[in-house]
Amino acid sequence: MVIEIKEAEQTIVEVKGEIDISNVDHLGSALQKAFTRSPTGFVVDASGISFIDAVGLRTILSAWRKLTTQGGVLALVASELIKKLLEILDATSLPGLVICDSVHMAIETISSGAYGSEGCSQD
Amino acid sequence: MTNVSGKLNTKYISKRFPVWTGYPVTLILIAAVTALLHALRPVFPLAQFPIPYILVTMLVAYLFGVGPAILAFLVGLFVFDYSFTAAVYEPRVHAVDIRLAGITAYLLGASIVAISMVLISNSKRRIECIAEELRRSQEDLNRAQVVAKIGSWRLDVQHNKLYWSDETYRLFGIPIGTPLTYETFLAKIHPDDREYVDEKWKAALRGEPYDIEHRIIVDDDVRWVRERAELEFGKDGEVKSAFGTVQDITDLKLAEEARVASEANYRAIFNAANDAIFVHDPETGIVLDANQKVMEMYGYSPEEARTLTIQDISSGEPPYTQEEGMQLVRRAMQGEPQIFEWKAKDKNGRIFWVEVNLKKAIIGGQDRVLAVVRDITDRKQTEEALQREQEHKLQFYRQTIMAATDGKLIITERSEIEHLAGTSLAVWEIHQPDELRVIRHEIEKVAESLGMAQDRVCELLVASGEAITNAVKHAGGGLVSVHKTDESLMVVVSDKGPGIPALALPEVALRRGYSTTGTLGMGYKIMIQLMDRVYLATDESGTVVGLEAKLRRSDISASPGMNRVLCI
């Protein structure tokens, strides 16, 4: 797993590789760092994740929970696997969690504030 | 006493005069008598008779016995004959007859007197010997009485005298020799026992046996004595004499009291116990003792319980038999306490459950096995009812869960999963979280080699990941294996963890909507959705999860992907 926190227009946490309980704590602390920098919202680019399980998803969803309690938003760039798992967990339409197909869209969505139940803004 | 009735023992003479002194004294006496007679003869004609010599013989016989008497006799005869008879009558014609008559008279007189004196002397010595022997045996008796702490007494009714032995005086703490009355004796008796002793003595005077134990007070100290007496009665039933013994039994009594107290304590504890207690012979298993609770539990009185065998108090159906019981007894004898449940049988044949604690014990210096028995019928019934209820609940859960998951989550037994799994293709052990990745890739290889489509391999890996993560998280690791049947591939993950409680199963399988309460539920949701079927067997000894993915025609026909990135 490789994690990179990028500071551009928005804070972006880029995660690549396989996530399981052996390394999920690194993801947790990276997300915590991002939260400290941008408590109103940031982007998690999970499109490069090749494997993730319930523990990993829970860690991401914990970050979302923290953000929403403060009125923030989490834009998640998800792979097909993650989308499917979120569906299974009934976690696709959580308030404050925006699931996007690309980093570009995710940044735009957060910046514009145009997010809601309709999800990530489409081009 | 025997040597007194036998021959004279000269050693008693030597107490006054050594034996040898008799001989010189005899000679001195004869010389003295001769000198006296010579001096007297001119004025006293009778001095010519042998009487003085006979008197000397008599005296010597009396004082010194036979030897000196014979010496006195012979020397006396010679001197008498020579210095008187011969000297006086020799010049005369008829002197021979007179001399003969004098010697004869001497012989006769001296013999008779000497013999009688020896006899008198002997009998006197004999009496002295008897008295001495009596004194000695009295001494021995006194010593024996001191050693045995037994005193004796004698009542002489004729002379109205009561004699106590020295030891009796000592036992009663009265100075030896103090004049005694019945009242003196009564006064020494413990006030609580006085009436009793008085009654018993009066009964003895009427002819009843007298053998009693009572207390006396000696120097403010309470002592116990045992008294026995034998009374001799006259024709009219009057007491003629009595002889009795007094024995100090204080130590015996104290030891007995201590023993009785300790026995009573032991009994009290034994009988107060809430559990039935059997004392078994370690060799035969036979019951040697039993407490009151045994009566309540088994219906045998403690008396009946003694001699019961293990068979008698066991249901008899294997393994609740004499042989099994004896094995447990032997193990307990080797010092390992045995605690086990046992099917017991009471006097009426009723079978009931007990919990038995067998322990080696030493009772009264003997090796014994103690069996502490508790009736657990109620507990057993409750346990059985609980188990039944548990099974019903589980049954209900299984059916509900199966229905709620469209038949995808099947709660079953581990043997069933092993049976369904099919041929084992590979097995891995896992202990650490960082081994997860390697095993995922191993499973991936196997699945691909079977021609499974890429997206389905991905799903299998995610589902397997959940099961393996659970084993690592909740059980510290376990075994992962891949199996294959004709129509499906199965990943089996087993662990020896605490299992999933039955009550948590609905949460795991049925919860709708996203919850952050636990990843266990999330994991199972994922497994159920991604797999064709999930088998789950779980109890206190561990959990087995079987993840079944059907092999489809599309899987088999699909060509293995090259250089794919996992799950993308």
Interface contact B316, partner A, CB < 8 A: no
Indicate if the pLDDT at residue B284 is higher than 80.
yes
**d(C-alpha B12, C-alpha B132), whole Å:** 10
Question: Is A21 close to B530, i.e. CB distance below 8 A?
Answer: no
Residue-level pLDDT at B560: 45
Burial label, A68 (beta-carbon count in 10 A; 0-12, 13-18, 19+): middle
CATH code for the domain defined by B273-375: 3.30.450.20
Name the residue of chain A whose CA is nearest to B432's CA.
A22
- Chain-wide mean pLDDT for chain B? 83
**DSSP summary character for residue A95:** T
Question: Is B465 close to A20, i.e. CB distance below 8 A?
Answer: yes
Question: Is A22 close to B433, i.e. CB distance below 8 A?
Answer: yes
Q: Using a cut of 0.90, tell me whether the model's pTM lies above it.
A: no
| Cβ atoms B269, B182 nearer than 8 A | no
- Of all residues in chain B, what percent carry a pLDDT higher than 70? 87
In this prediction, residue B559 has a pLDDT band, given cuts at 50, 70 and 90, of: very low
* Model confidence pLDDT, tens digit, residues B178-211: 888 888 888 889 999 999 999 999 899 888 999 9
Residues from chain A contacting residue B461 (CB–CB below 8 Å): 51
The larger pLDDT score, comparing residue A121 to residue B335, is at B335
Residue-level pLDDT at B23: 86
In this prediction, residue B406 has a pLDDT band, given cuts at 50, 70 and 90, of: confident
Name the residue of chain B whose CA is nearest to A89's CA.
B514
- Of all residues in chain B, what percent carry a pLDDT higher than 90? 28
Structure tokens given for A5 = 């926190």
Domain range annotation of chain B: 2-133, 149-254, 273-375, 387-557
Q: How many CB atoms lie within 10 A of CB A97?
A: 23
Indicate if the pLDDT at residue B5 is higher than 60.
no
**d(C-alpha A52, C-alpha A54), whole Å:** 7
**d(C-alpha B400, C-alpha B507), whole Å:** 12
- My answer on whether omega of the bond before B319 falls inside 30° of 0, hence cis, is yes
Least confident of A89-93, B84-88, B252-256: B84-88
- DSSP H or E run through B352: strand B351-363
Two domains, one topology: B149-254 and B273-375: yes
Residues 6+ positions from B92 with CB-CB distance below 8 Å: B98
**d(C-alpha A22, C-alpha B429), whole Å:** 16
**d(C-alpha B367, C-alpha B360), whole Å:** 7
Least confident of A17-21, B94-98, B368-372: B94-98
Complex ipTM tops 0.85:
yes
Interface contact B512, partner A, CB < 8 A: yes
Residue-level pLDDT at B296: 87
Number of helices (H) and strands (E), helices first, in chain B?
20, 16
**d(C-alpha B101, C-alpha B98), whole Å:** 5
The larger pLDDT score, comparing residue A61 to residue B555, is at A61
Interface test mutation site (partner B, options A23, A51, A89, max chain B beta carbons within 10 A): A51
Residue A53: which of B462, B516, B565 has the nearest Cβ?
B462
Residue-level pLDDT at A117: 46
Residues from chain B contacting residue A19 (CB–CB below 8 Å): none
Residue-level pLDDT at B155: 85
Indicate if the pLDDT at residue B464 is higher than 90.
yes
| Cβ atoms B530, B421 nearer than 8 A | no
**d(C-alpha B526, C-alpha B439), whole Å:** 19
**d(C-alpha B198, C-alpha B42), whole Å:** 83
| Cβ atoms B325, B335 nearer than 8 A | no
* Model confidence pLDDT, tens digit, residues B295-332: 888 999 888 888 889 989 898 888 898 889 999 999 99
Residue B525: which of A52, A55, A88 has the nearest Cβ?
A88
**d(C-alpha B16, C-alpha B20), whole Å:** 12
Question: Is B465 close to A53, i.e. CB distance below 8 A?
Answer: yes
Q: Please tell me the distance in Å from B564's CA to the nearest CA on chain A.
A: 10
CATH code for the domain defined by B387-557: 3.30.565.10
Residue-level pLDDT at B555: 53
Residues from chain B contacting residue A91 (CB–CB below 8 Å): 514
Residues from chain B contacting residue A53 (CB–CB below 8 Å): 462, 465-466, 469, 523, 526
**DSSP summary character for residue B42:** T
Alpha-helix runs per DSSP H in chain A: 24-37, 54-69, 80-88, 103-112
Q: Please tell me the distance in Å from B506's CA to the nearest CA on chain A.
A: 16
Mean local confidence (pLDDT), B455-477 = 92
Interface contact A25, partner B, CB < 8 A: no
Residue-level pLDDT at B554: 59
Residues 6+ positions from B181 with CB-CB distance below 8 Å: B162
- Of all residues in chain A, what percent carry a pLDDT higher than 90? 54
CA B380, B381, B387, B391 dihedral sign is positive
Mean local confidence (pLDDT), B396-418 = 87
In this prediction, residue A123 has a pLDDT band, given cuts at 50, 70 and 90, of: very low
Question: Is B568 close to A89, i.e. CB distance below 8 A?
Answer: no
Interface test mutation site (partner A, options B472, B508, B510, B519, max chain A beta carbons within 10 A): B519
B324-335 CB burial, b ≥16 within 10 A, e <16: ebbebbeebbee
Name the residue of chain B whose CA is nearest to A23's CA.
B434
Question: Is A57 close to B472, i.e. CB distance below 8 A?
Answer: no
Mean local confidence (pLDDT), B31-42 = 80
Interface contact B467, partner A, CB < 8 A: no
Question: Is B526 close to A21, i.e. CB distance below 8 A?
Answer: no
Question: Is A54 close to B519, i.e. CB distance below 8 A?
Answer: yes
| Cβ atoms A74, A10 nearer than 8 A | no
Interface contact A114, partner B, CB < 8 A: no
**d(C-alpha B142, C-alpha B149), whole Å:** 10
Question: Is B567 close to A81, i.e. CB distance below 8 A?
Answer: yes
Residue-level pLDDT at B98: 62
Residues from chain A contacting residue B561 (CB–CB below 8 Å): none
B131-143 CB burial, b ≥16 within 10 A, e <16: eeeeeeeeeeeee
Mean local confidence (pLDDT), B411-436 = 92
In this prediction, residue A29 has a pLDDT band, given cuts at 50, 70 and 90, of: very high
Residue-level pLDDT at B561: 42
Residue A21: which of B433, B461, B512 has the nearest Cβ?
B433
The larger pLDDT score, comparing residue B14 to residue B293, is at B293
Question: Is B526 close to A54, i.e. CB distance below 8 A?
Answer: yes
Q: Identify the CA nearest to A52 among candidates A5, A103, A106, A1.
A: A1
Least confident of B92-96, B137-141, B157-161, B249-253: B92-96
Tell me the longest C-alpha to C-alpha distance in chain B. 189
**3-state class of B536 per DSSP?**
strand
Residues from chain A contacting residue B469 (CB–CB below 8 Å): 20-21, 53-55
Least confident of A7-21, B60-74, B182-196: B60-74
Question: Is B434 close to A65, i.e. CB distance below 8 A?
Answer: no
Indicate if the pLDDT at residue A58 is higher than 60.
yes
Mean local confidence (pLDDT), B426-446 = 94
Which residue type does B54 have?
I
Question: Is B522 close to A89, i.e. CB distance below 8 A?
Answer: yes
Mean local confidence (pLDDT), B345-349 = 91
* Model confidence pLDDT, tens digit, residues B500-539: 876 677 776 666 666 655 667 788 889 999 999 999 998 8
Any idea what the Cα angle at residue B414 is, between residues B409 and B416, rounded to 5°? 75
Residues from chain B contacting residue A79 (CB–CB below 8 Å): 567-568
Give the neighbor-by-neighbor strand order of the sheet with B478-484.
Answer: B409-411, B533-539, B542-550, B488-495, B478-484, B423-430
Interface contact B462, partner A, CB < 8 A: yes
Q: How many CB pairs under 8 A join A and B?
A: 74
At CB < 8 A and 24+ separation, what contacts does B562-566 make?
A: B564/B454, B565/A50, B566/A18, B566/A50, B566/A51, B566/B440, B566/B444, B566/B458, B566/B461
Q: Name the CATH superfamily, with its identifier, for domain B149-254.
A: PAS domain (3.30.450.20)
Residue B440: which of A51, A91, A94 has the nearest Cβ?
A51
**d(C-alpha B438, C-alpha A51), whole Å:** 13
Name the residue of chain A whose CA is nearest to B516's CA.
A58
Indicate if the pLDDT at residue A86 is higher than 80.
yes
Interface contact B443, partner A, CB < 8 A: no
Least confident of A70-74, B18-22, B252-256, B430-434: B18-22
**d(C-alpha B281, C-alpha B550), whole Å:** 66
Interface contact B411, partner A, CB < 8 A: no
Indicate if the pLDDT at residue B2 is higher than 60.
no
